[in-house]
């Protein structure tokens, strides 16, 4: 069996299904062994020249009864054991999905998406395959082997002893091969991860590849990965084939031994000169030999299954190891007796906040101390890489942060329930991710069962309604994967509408108007000033003009606060702000034709 802390509970949960399946398997195995006996009886019935019709009819009726039992038993174990394996796979997949939701963003920066996808597909399928077919093979082979050996020994223990020697070789060979197959399977899965990830990146970045005429180079890269993947798969398949061939060879040898030795024993008994081995007088009839050979042929399936079980278990063991490692990953843990933010006003404060990304030695933010009053509209500007996005992300508990540094309404966010913190904050991220769904569903994503009139109001707020009216399907227009059918400005405004519709006490827009024209930006900012009165709004911007009318502006430089003041004062105290204003003024002059 396949054991592990994440899978053992499913054996107990679905034990009733496994019991029904095992009962069906045992019934099939027991009645299946009556067929060789009936066949031997038929041979002996015809041995004397005349046939006892009554005895033959009894045998025929027995064969029909066995056929009915075999049919019912096989239906029973198929329905029950496969149901248990599929439910176990579904349970593991559910566990993994919940785990994936709880893992910090830093985990996905270190682990490729293709690798995670492989865990959810091929590894879970491999585990399910073993729990289904592997369980059937294991119990079927075990029971059938024991029953066959008992019947063979009862029929003739000397011939059974001769046959037993090669069977031991199969068991030893299987034990030796399992470790090698497990290592080969892990290597195969690792190469599959690379193939999966490379393919995903190529499809996701197809527009960039085409724009830079890199199709040929990407194809060559893909060919190299495929070649390595092929070599690994062929190496694994070669080992599996060698294993199966050796088992088939052993089976052929055993069959030859039975026919040779058994034929000799039958001839001796028929001529009145039976063989004597270890003091045992062997009197074997032709019917007995046919029955014995039937037992062995029945036993071929367990012997072949042994090879498949070894191969399947090695693969499933390697896959379970990968899945377990994923489920063992430390997640963002909620504190005991976590506080639930309620009646949030929107006050935000940072106290000596320092943050360094996992794997980096350089702090993204250093000793940030500031306080944003509830209901205030604040802008954040700075050079690229100055820590603007890091600052707003810290409010959402996306990364692990130290206690006593980030507060909402004076409450330390590290002591709060994550769900309540994120409920209090509406966020339009910098990458403006959209789902492959309708515009209406993308805008109403944060509100369950959002009515159309609310969606339309949010679109008006983000200056998106005019664009939507120009679409053939209007609000039912499908955005495509990651919003591929929309322009950059339309994606940004869709993200703004989605965040606005959530109507949270705190609204964060991370560089959300950089792709719109000045007039549209002005309209959106006016809407923010009108609709967000009394609520906290934080806007990260790349242009100084975007935040020039806000209550206060945070200027970041090299991960530190250079200034935090109203726009009028920043011209006096912030070199970075002055430079940004002057550069934008120069840009406006150039665009206006003034040199």
Which CATH number does the domain housing residue 223 bear? 1.20.1560.10
Q: Are residues 541 and 411 in the same domain?
A: yes
Domain boundary among 268, 295, 327: 327
Same-domain check for residues 97 and 211: yes
> Is 261 contained in some domain?
yes
pLDDT: is 349 or 479 the higher one?
349
Q: What is the pLDDT of residue 119?
A: 83
Domain count, the chain: 2
Residues 156 and 265 in one domain: yes
Domain for residue 455, yes or no? no
Q: Are residues 242 and 387 in the same domain?
A: no
pLDDT of residue 351: 93
Does residue 91 form part of some domain? yes
Helices (H), 462-517: 465-469, 488-502
Model pLDDT for residues 383-399, shown as the tens digit of each residue: 888 888 889 888 888 77
The pLDDT of residue 595 is above 50: no
Mean pLDDT of the chain: 81
Residue 238 shares a structural domain with residue 320 = yes
Confidence of residue 179 (pLDDT cuts 50, 70, 90): low
In a domain, 229, yes or no: yes
Q: What value does the mean pLDDT take over residues 396-422?
A: 86
| 490 located within any domain | no
- 227 and 108 share a domain? yes
User: Tell me, what CATH number does 409's domain have?
Assistant: 3.40.50.300
571-590 mean pLDDT: 81
> Do 238 and 374 lie in a common domain?
no
Q: Which residues contact 37 (CB under 8 A, 6 or more apart)?
A: 291, 294
Q: Say yes or no: 119 and 36 in one domain.
A: yes
pLDDT band at 280 (very low <50, low <70, confident <90, very high): low
Considering only residues 582 and 159, tell me which one the structure prediction assigns the higher pLDDT. Answer: 582
Planar angle of CA 244, 246, 248, nearest 5 degrees: 70
- Higher-confidence residue of 376 and 265: namely 376
Let me know whether 534 and 414 are in one domain: yes
Residue 111: phi, psi to the nearest 5?
-110, 130
**Are 417 and 512 found together in one domain?**
yes
Q: Which of 70-74, 195-199, 451-455, 506-510 has the lowest mean pLDDT?
A: 195-199
As beta bridge partners, residue 550 has none
As a whole number, mean pLDDT of residues 30-53 equals 71
Q: Specify the pLDDT at position 588.
A: 67
The pLDDT of residue 473 is above 70? yes
Any domain includes 484? no
Better-predicted residue by pLDDT, 308 or 552: 552
pLDDT of residue 593: 45
Distance between CA atoms of residues 24 and 1, nearest Å: 19
- The predicted-structure confidence for 334-346, as pLDDT tens digits, reads as follows 777 888 888 888 8
pLDDT of residue 166: 65
Average pLDDT over residues 2-27: 85
Q: Which of 327, 361, 394 is the last residue of a domain?
A: 327
- 456-484 core/surface letters (b: 16 or more CB in 10 A; e: else): bbbbbbbbbbebbeeeeeebebebeeebe
- CB-side neighbour CA atoms (13 Å) of 363: 14
Do residue 312 and residue 355 come from a single domain?
A: no
Average of per-residue pLDDT across 356-360: 78
Q: Which of 275, 298, 327 delimits the end of a domain?
A: 327
Same domain, 123 and 234: yes
The pLDDT > 70 percentage for the chain reads: 90
Query: Span 192-206, mean pLDDT?
Result: 78
Mean pLDDT across 312-338:
80
Query: Is position 64 within any domain?
Result: yes
Full domain range(s) for residue 531: 348-427+505-591
């Amino acid at each position: 069996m396949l054991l592990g802390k994440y899978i053992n509970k499913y054996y107990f949960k679905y034990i009733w299904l496994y019991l029904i399946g095992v009962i069906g398997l045992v019934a099939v195995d027991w009645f299946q062994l009556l067929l060789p006996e009936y066949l031997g009886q038929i041979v002996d019935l015809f041995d004397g020249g005349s046939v006892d019709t009554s005895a033959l009819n009894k045998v025929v009726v027995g064969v029909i009864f066995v056929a009915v039992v075999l049919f019912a038993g096989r239906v029973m174990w198929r329905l029950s054991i496969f149901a248990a394996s599929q439910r176990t796979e579904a349970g593991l997949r559910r566990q993994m999905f919940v785990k994936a939701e709880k893992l910090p963003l830093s985990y996905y920066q270190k682990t490729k998406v293709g690798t995670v996808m492989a865990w959810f597909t091929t590894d879970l399928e491999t585990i399910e395959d073993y729990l289904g077919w592997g369980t059937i093979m294991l119990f079927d082979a075990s029971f059938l082997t024991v029953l066959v050996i008992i019947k063979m020994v009862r029929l003739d223990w000397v011939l059974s002893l001769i046959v037993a020697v090669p069977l031991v070789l199969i068991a030893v060979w299987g034990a030796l091969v399992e470790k090698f197959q497990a290592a080969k399977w892990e290597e195969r899965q690792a190469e599959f991860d690379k193939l999966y990830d490379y393919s995903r990146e190529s499809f996701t970045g197809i527009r960039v590849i085409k724009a830079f005429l890199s199709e040929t180079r990407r194809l060559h890269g893909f060919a190299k990965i495929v070649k390595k993947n092929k070599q690994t798969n062929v190496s694994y398949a070669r080992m599996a084939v060698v294993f199966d061939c050796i088992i088939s060879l052993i089976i052929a040898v055993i069959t030859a031994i039975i026919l040779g030795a058994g034929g000799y024993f039958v001839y001796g008994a028929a001529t009145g000169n039976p063989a004597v081995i270890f003091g045992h007088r062997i009197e074997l009839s032709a019917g007995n030999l046919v029955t014995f050979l039937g037992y062995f042929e029945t036993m071929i399936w367990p012997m072949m299954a042994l090879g498949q079980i070894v191969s399947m278990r090695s693969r499933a063991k390697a896959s379970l190891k990968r899945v377990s490692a994923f489920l063992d990953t430390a997640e963002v843990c909620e504190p005991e007796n976590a506080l639930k933010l309620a009646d949030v006003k929107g006050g935000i404060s940072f106290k000596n906040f320092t943050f360094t990304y996992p794997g980096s030695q350089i702090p993204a933010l250093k000793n940030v101390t500031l306080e944003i009053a509830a209901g205030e509209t604040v802008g954040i500007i700075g050079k690229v890489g100055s820590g603007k996005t890091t600052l707003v992300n810290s409010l959402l508990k996306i990364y692990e942060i130290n206690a006593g540094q980030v507060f909402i309404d004076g409450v330390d966010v590290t002591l709060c329930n994550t769900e309540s913190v994120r409920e209090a904050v509406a966020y339009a991220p910098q990458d403006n991710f959209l789902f492959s769904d309708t515009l209406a569903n993308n805008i109403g994503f944060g509100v369950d069962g959002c009515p159309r009139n609310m969606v339309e109001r949010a679109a008006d707020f983000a200056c998106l309604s005019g664009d939507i009216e120009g679409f053939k399907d209007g609000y039912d227009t499908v955005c495509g994967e990651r919003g591929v059918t929309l322009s950059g400005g339309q994606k940004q405004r869709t993200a703004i509408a989605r965040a606005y519709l959530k109507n949270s006490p705190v609204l964060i827009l991370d560089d959300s108007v950089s792709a719109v024209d000045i007039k549209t930006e002005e309209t959106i900012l006016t809407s923010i000033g009108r609709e967000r009165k009394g609520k906290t709004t934080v806007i990260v911007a790349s242009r100084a003009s975007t935040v020039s009318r806000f209550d206060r502006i945070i200027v970041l430089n090299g991960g530190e606060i250079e200034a935090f003041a109203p726009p009028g004062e920043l011209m006096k105290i912030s070199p970075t702000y002055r430079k940004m204003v002057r550069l934008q003024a120069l840009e406006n002059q150039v665009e206006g034709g003034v040199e």
